[in-house]
Amino acid sequence: MVPGPRLVHHGSAHWFSARARWCPDTLGPAVAAMIVGMFLPPEFAVEVVVDDILFRRYGRTVHAVGWQHDGSAPGRYKFGYGNCWVIAGIVVWLPA
């Protein structure tokens, strides 16, 4: 009898993102190459979307906070205090 898929507790993902030692500069391109290799033929162009968001947390324990542009802020002045995160995503069009 062939064993079925092994179930892993969701806490494993929390451990990886919170306590494991990994470098985003190494992990990001590796995951991107894996996604592109799995879902896109070699002749296809890769479509990447980019967005940013202001994370409004600050205090002595929050690293690298400052005044950032916040396009979604209410009012006339579009600035907020916090961290600016830039998010990039790979768009993959799957056949219907």
- Strands of 79-91's sheet, edge to edge? 47-55, 79-91, 66-69
Q: Which residue has the tokens 């290799």?
A: 37
C-alpha–C-alpha distance, residues 84 and 68, integer Å: 7
pLDDT at 50: 93
pLDDT at 96: 67
10-residue stretch averages of pLDDT, the chain, 96 residues long = 70 75 85 86 86 83 85 84 87 75
> pTM of the prediction?
0.56
**Number of Cβ within a 10 Å radius of residue 87:** 9
